[in-house]
Amino acid sequence: MTTTMFYKHTQIGSTILWVLLAVTLLMTVIWFIDRQSGTIAGFTVLGLLIVALVFGTLTVEVDSQYLRCWFGPGWIRKEFAIEQITNAIAVRNHWWYGWGIRYTPRGWMFNVSGLDAVEITFTSGQHFRIGTDEPEALVAAIRDRID
């Protein structure tokens, strides 16, 4: 069975990427100044590059059966059946909720940048937030599928 794609958007976590770039450059400078710290600096830079790859983007897609969201290349992902979703609303996260994978007072959250998000409510009463820079479009795509 083929599914029709109704919505797909990838948000780039520019703040995360700029911070990681700055720290990577700092570690590179430290390595050039003090070669004895080379191993630690090298592993730190490698770790930061992996974090940038994995958490640098957040992609969300909605098709006729599922809402999916994943970071970077898709190693960390969530998939929700449309039939299990009862509502979707645009929300604004508190700044202290941060970025990445977080547990908030309203449930789990995937966020890569900014404060805007869409809160999904499930038939179980649980909630999940997806950070996005186009909350209205994502809400419309989800509501179109659940109505």
Q: Which run of H or of E encompasses 45?
A: helix 38-55
List pLDDT tens digits, range 56-80. 999 999 999 999 999 999 999 999 9
- The DSSP result for 102-116, as a single string, is EEETTEEEEESSSSE
61 Cα distance to chain centroid: 12
Q: Is 2's pLDDT higher than 60?
A: no
- pLDDT above 70 coverage of the chain, percent: 97
Q: Which residues partner with 131 through β-bridges? A: 117
User: What pLDDT is attached to residue 30?
Assistant: 78
Q: Is 112's pLDDT higher than 70?
A: yes
Domain annotation for the chain: domains and CATH numbers = 5-10+58-146 (2.30.29.30), 12-54 (no CATH)
Closest CA to 147 of 82, 74, 101: 82
